[in-house]
Amino acid sequence: MLTPNVELNHSVILVTGAAGFIGSNLVIELLNTLQNATIVGLDNVNDYYDVSIKEYRLSEISTLAAKRPENTWIFIRGNIADKALLDSVFTEYTFDVVVNLAAQAGVRYSITNPDAYVESNLIGFYNILEACRNHPVKHLVYASSSSVYGTNEKVPYSTEDKTDNPISLYAATKKSNELMAHAYAKLYNIPSTGLRFFTVYGPAGRPDMAYFGFTNKLLKGETIQIFNYGNCQRDFTYVDDIVEGVKRVMTCAPEKADGTDGLPLPPYRVYNIGNSCPENLLDFVDILQQELIAAGVLPKDYDFESHKRLVPMQPGDVPVTYADTSALEQDFGFRPSTPLREGLRRFAQWYHSFYGEEKK
């Protein structure tokens, strides 16, 4: 077990992508559990998906912040690709910890809209690194992705495995983030930790994710496509487990040390955060439909068989994701454990509450 060396109470924390799925849940957790902390959220609230969900997340944060006056919540609407903005923010606030969750997400979108990934995931992340170099922080934590493993056939995926064969631009940008962070850790002694997330899901998630998109289509009476003829497996990880992992990692920055050459050894780590329990997509869809019925999103007599179609694999996708989380367990005594049914039940209940009669 690592010994915590970063105190989050009484600290100043930057969370980029604060209106995003993981970012908003992290901010809520920090507001709920910290004392006398200042949490600065940064997000450009773009329209990659339904902006009303992002605004909903921000309103939930604001409501909670009003009930937790011992902490300070500050939201800045802006883009990490705007270097001047980042420099002004880092100048105004002396950050102890930076958690970079801002990114252009999505494998398929990267095939048709590559510019968005270069701007946010490469230029934006470079700006974050430069800001941390010019305004030193105790710990930089950033989101990577299970996509970096590409078509590796060895499972479960270990952080010791090679990750130099990305099959989408999205995956390539995430691997680039890890390489850039390593270089800055070595050159400028910036303690940094990359987190490879595995298929995150839950309430108020991203509508481009399968469980959310399937629900929207089923409700409209449309047919859902199940890729690779249903033979894909995904390591679905509930968002609360991701947030718990991020928060624990925030408290343990890699130690600074010098090598035999007198130069800094890179204070750098990478972890997987996944459920370590891959689920077959057909089983996943079956559980989802059961929970959608139980939550009242879909009628009890819904004909699922006529609304699903098995189709070939699509470009950029991989047949399986499966996390080896042994390093996370060894260093932090934690591993994600929320069962898929429980997580999908919470999503279905949220979906019914959020959309109500509007979708019907």
Residue with tokens 């800055």: 184
Question: Does a structural domain hold residue 140?
Answer: yes
Pairing between strand 237-238 and 139-145?
unpaired
Write out the residue range of the structural domain in which residue 26 sits. Answer: 12-199+239-276+322-338
Given the residues 48, 170, 238, 322, select the one marked as catalytic. Answer: 170
Q: What is the pLDDT of residue 316?
A: 66
Are the C-beta atoms of residues 178 and 194 closer than 8 Å to each other?
Answer: yes
> Is residue 213 included in any domain, yes or no?
no
Tell whether 219 is covered by a domain. no
Q: What digits encode the pLDDT tens for the residues 122-181?
A: 999 999 999 999 999 999 999 999 999 998 889 899 999 999 999 999 999 999 999 999
Residue 319, classified by CB atoms within 10 Å of its CB into exposed (0-12), middle (13-18) or buried (19+), is middle
- Mapping DSSP to helix (H, G, I), strand (E, B) and coil, where does residue 46 land? coil
Tell me how many domains the chain contains.
1
* Rounded distance between C-alpha atoms, residue 85 and residue 90, angstroms: 9
3-state secondary structure of 72: strand
Structure tokens at 103: 């990114």
Report which residue type is found at 164.
D
Residues 41 and 73: beta-carbon distance below 8 Å: yes
Residue 234 located in a structural domain: no
- Domain of 112, CATH number, reads 3.40.50.720
State the pLDDT at residue 360.
43
Residue 291 in domain = no
Whether pLDDT at 358 is above 70 = no
User: CA geometry: angle at 320 spanning 197 and 335, to 5°?
Assistant: 40
Pairing type for strands 237-238 and 233-234 reads unpaired
Does residue 88 fall inside a structural domain?
Answer: yes
pLDDT at 359: 47
Is residue 157 among the annotated active site residues? no
**232 within a domain of the structure (yes/no):** no
Residue 93 lies in a domain: yes
- Listed in sequence order, the residues at least 6 apart from 128 whose beta carbon sits closer than 8 Å to its beta carbon are 16, 80, 86, 98, 100, 140, 142
Mean pLDDT over residues 33-42, rounded? 98
211 near 205, Cβ under 8 Å?
Answer: yes
